[in-house]
Amino acid sequence: MAAHVHGAGRISAALTGAPGAAVLACLALAATLPVSGEVRLLVAFLAVLPAAATASCLALLARSGARAWAGSGLVAAFAAAILVVLA
């Protein structure tokens, strides 16, 4: 059985794009919660580390670098749109 070879696109998406998209997604989640500001901040802080780790793993599991970047970009664009609408 051959080892899985990660391309430069997947690795760069896992190191840069996916964690950034996860941070934006956590901020969008916190912005949509109907609770006080302190609870929103706590939720964002508690969710960001597992979200970034999961996003990085999913970027490495993508079939190609283009798919890894597309997934990260889609999540980031959706989260940014939510943040812009709520601002």
pLDDT one-digit tens code per residue, 26-79: 999 999 999 998 999 999 999 999 999 999 999 999 999 999 999 999 999 999
Q: How many domains does the chain have?
A: 1
Q: Is the pTM of this model over 0.85?
A: yes
Instruction: Establish if 24 belongs to a structural domain.
Output: yes
Instruction: Establish if 74 belongs to a structural domain.
Output: yes
Instruction: Establish if 45 belongs to a structural domain.
Output: yes
Instruction: Establish if 1 belongs to a structural domain.
Output: no
Report in angstroms the alpha-carbon separations of 5 from 9, 10, 15.
12, 10, 16
Instruction: Establish if 29 belongs to a structural domain.
Output: yes
Domain assignment of residue 38, given as a range = 8-86
Instruction: Establish if 66 belongs to a structural domain.
Output: yes
Contacts of 76 (CB under 8 A, 6+ apart): 17, 20, 21, 24, 25
Instruction: Establish if 2 belongs to a structural domain.
Output: no
